[in-house]
Amino acid sequence: METLPSLQIGQHIARYPIIQGGMGIRISGSHLAAAVANAGGVGIVSGVGLGLNSPYFDPNESNPRIRREQFFEANRLALIDELQTARQLSPDGIIGVNVMVVARDYETLVRTSAEQGVNLIISGAGLPLQLPEYTADYPEVALVPIVSTTRAAKIICRKWERQYKRLPDAFVVENPNSAGGHLGAKYEELDDPALEAKQVIPELVNYLDNELGQPIPVIAAGGVWDRADIVKMLELGARGVQIGTRFITTDECDADIRYKEFHLHARPEDVTIVSSPVGLPGRALRNPFVEKVMSGSALVQKGCLVNCLQVCRFREAGEFYCIVQALDKAARGDVENGLVFSGSNAGRSDRIMPVAELMHELVAG
């Protein structure tokens, strides 16, 4: 069996072409990221809402303005904590951060990540058109947008080249038909064959190699579970893969044990599509919370807690639910009343294992 190739993104070379996906809130924190980096992959800390479950934030603060200011500062301080812990646990590994464009404190989180010495920044949930501006003083930090289409990648390349005289160091191509969490497609676009990896990856690779003339690595994300899936994506032209759901059922995953066990005991038919207040569909596991959302039942919730997103129908119209609190509840172990995001492969784990063992299995087959 052939050895999997290494993966170079910018100045950084990982022994294996495996990036661990960023999963918020506190699903992929410092411990998971460091373990993956130590095992030869790229470890990613999710920068989403870290302040919520931190010593820096008081959710009971009655003044909304003070509460929101405190939340954004808590996010910044908690991100610093996570990145410093990850680096202590993995002094020589490749550590990155995943930051959502739609977050109101996006610029702060990106700048903080660069200041803390991350090796790469992965950015999606919107087009990261200004990402190079925020990291201009840190040229060694690799910049990796998440896209679902070649069209989105072209927009980013043209904007970055024109305005910043640079191009992305890699692209993560997320397949919305199999990825977990928020999806880069509208409801009516889901299941569209044109968004499948076998269509988008060769098309994007052709654009980058032949039209742009730049060997920018393409990373396949969504639905990758084992070595056979990795090989399949590499054969399509990808240089690496991003894996999220599979890393949830590991010892080092930063989520509560009840969250991990919920994934462990899930069945394939438990995976469903759920509405989100950010205006995008998401892939999650069925539970009482999701059943209520899908049936349109009223969810007893107070108003907007921290004004954390640029777009939020819960804040603006009282629709759906508070996404940051729903994800946080689940991560803390309340898997009945929280939102449990998952990819299409949920239910395939048979036990919780160490990251090193999982990485060996992915690499050796």
Task: Write down the architecture of domain 7-255+349-364 according to CATH.
Answer: Alpha-Beta Barrel (3.20)
In sequence order, the β-bridge partners of residue 46 are 98
Give 87's contacts (C-beta < 8 A, 6+ positions apart). 34, 95, 116, 117
pLDDT score for 278 = 85
CB 241 within 8 A of CB 224: yes
pLDDT score for 1 = 64
- The DSSP result for 238-252, as a single string, is -SEEEE-GGGTTBTT
Over residues 223-274, the pLDDT tens digits come to 999 999 999 999 999 999 999 999 999 999 999 999 999 999 999 999 999 9
pLDDT score for 297 = 73
pLDDT score for 301 = 67
Over residues 307-321, the pLDDT tens digits come to 787 887 777 777 788
pLDDT score for 298 = 56
Q: Which residues does the chain have with pLDDT short of 70?
A: 1, 298-301
- Strands (DSSP E) found in 187-345: 218-221, 240-243, 271-274, 282-285
pLDDT score for 299 = 65
Over residues 71-106, the pLDDT tens digits come to 999 999 999 999 999 999 999 999 999 999 999 999
